[in-house]
A and B are shown apart, each in its own frame.
Chain A
Amino acid sequence: SQTIHQWPATLVQPVGSPLSLECTVEGTSNPNLYWYRQAAGRGLQLLFYSVGIGQISSEVPQNLSASRPQDRQFILSSKKLLLSDSGFYLCAWSFTGYGYTFGSGTRLTVV
């Protein structure tokens, strides 16, 4: 069966510090991968998605970036965090036309 791992679960980072969040999927090949952010009390905002290694589509211009160095690995990064980057970051995988399976999420607080 497929599983998705996301870490860390919580993170407190100072403004201006770098960020690296990692997500890996097991038990499947060539999945679509997604990064979402959910601000407190708000809806899901799609940040990036990837249909294959090295293929990244950005949905929202911002100081975040994403990379997919391996088929089942998706990384979200920032060189310098802003206060507005605080939120609940969710990684998800799917096959085209089907629903997503989300990871357990990372709660990021930028102070």
Chain B
Amino acid sequence: QKEVEQNSGPLSVPEGAIASLNCTYSDRVSQSFFWYRQYSGKSPELIMSIYSNGDKEDGRFTAQLNKASQYVSLLIRDSQPSDSATYLCAVNKAAGNKLTFGGGTRVLVKP
């Protein structure tokens, strides 16, 4: 089992709809969780961080964390063509210096 798993996609979403991305992780002591967006040919950009159970909203993005189920998700509301990118889930183990990344989910928003 991979430490951080994501569906590779592509996740095809109509413009204006909600894109829902999922990520599961294997280490129960993980404490910090991050979502990155990576456009083709560019470096990853941090878009959301979440540290406690529940929802965290930032603009059109909502991160959801459920530590009991070892599950973190990202919702993108009112999806725009500019949201078309690969989204990487990353997990930090307890007091660790390193992030473990999932393989990423490619999202395509169609006009």
Are B90 and A99 in contact, with the CB atoms below 8 A? Answer: yes
Q: Interface size for chain B: under 10, 10 to 19, 20 to 34, or 35 or more residues?
A: 20 to 34
Task: Flag if A49 contacts B45 (CB, 8 Å).
Answer: no
- Decide if A49 touches B98 in the complex (CB within 8 Å): yes
Given known A43-B101, A44-B101, A49-B97, contact A100–B88 (CB-CB < 8 A)? no
A102-B43 in contact given A43-B104, A49-B98, A96-B95 (Cβ < 8 Å) = yes
Q: How far is the CA of A43 from the CA of B99 in the complex (A)?
A: 13
What is the total number of residues of chain A having a CB less than 8 Å from a CB of chain B? Answer: 21
Chain A residues in 8 Å Cβ range of B41: 107
Total of A-B residue pairs, C-beta within 8 Å: 51
Residues of A near B97 (CB, < 8 A) are 32, 49, 51, 94, 96
Whether A105 touches B101, Cβ cut-off 8 Å, given contacts A96-B95, A97-B32, A99-B34, is: no
Q: How far is the CB of B36 from chain A (nearest CB, A)?
A: 8
Contact with A along B93-111 (1 / 0, CB 8 A): 0011111011110000000
Judge if B60 is at the interface, Cβ distance under 8 Å: no
A102–B103 CB distance below 8 A: no
Task: Report which A residues bind B (CB closer than 8 A).
Answer: 32, 34, 42-44, 46, 49, 51, 90, 94, 96-105, 107
**Known pairs A43-B103, A96-B95 / 11 extra A-B pairs, C-beta < 8 Å:** A44-B44, A44-B88, A46-B98, A97-B32, A97-B92, A99-B46, A99-B49, A102-B45, A105-B42, A105-B43, A107-B41
